[in-house]
A and B are shown apart, each in its own frame.
Chain A
Amino acid sequence: MSDPIHQKISQFLDDDLNQLESLQLLNALQQQPHLQSTMQRYLLINQALKSRPVLAASEGFVAQIQQKLEQEPVYFLPRQSRISPPFFKKAALALAASVAAVAIILPVGMRVISINHTGVLNLAQQQAVKSTKQALLGAHPSDAGLLVSNNSGSSMRMYPVNQRFQDYLQAHNGSLYTTNGVENLQYRAQLASYGKGE
């Protein structure tokens, strides 16, 4: 491992580089893609040293297979008879009967399991909470707010999202710009530009 960059890769994988050195190495890896395969190789070696079985295809493996396929001769042989021997016919019938039996029995069993499962109750409860929340958020801004219990056991009023919330959120970060929430912002921007703000 005489090459310094290879040594750096090894140190990076062993957590022996500080952040600045790591960033410099990652930058170098981006600019020299062949080093990425080196890092992948070192990772595999790392894995192998941990005594886990690893099989890795050599770089030219797929190309060799393609070459072999191209060299494969094409045979124009007469079509074989599609009539199956009687033994396979019987086996196929038996298999079809088994599949039909499973198809009838399995849904009945699954229904029993799903009825007994408490997950249904949990799901129903979650849906109820969600619908309450949605109803709350969709409520008119002039609503007085709903009293909700919080984690600390006390209760507080929960209000639908209002203008101030949107203003604060827009000033807080750019997340509103990634969604159609920005539609409202455009409307408000127009209002403001015509001097008709809130």
Chain B
Amino acid sequence: MKRIKTKQGTFYAKRSDTKISAIEKKYGVDLGVRSDMKLGNYLEKKGYKSLADMLRK
């Protein structure tokens, strides 16, 4: 994931290829899908295609 340096520090924007495991690890949750699934695919699977479309590839 590309990192953006700001005056306030480093900021990461979520991308569609973010792995679900990253979110599961961050919050200690099980999202009930394969951990290597990409975030964009996960959102589409859940029926949130519009939201997935707004994520940069």
Whether A associates with B in a native complex is: no
Chain B interface residues (CB < 8 Å from chain A): none
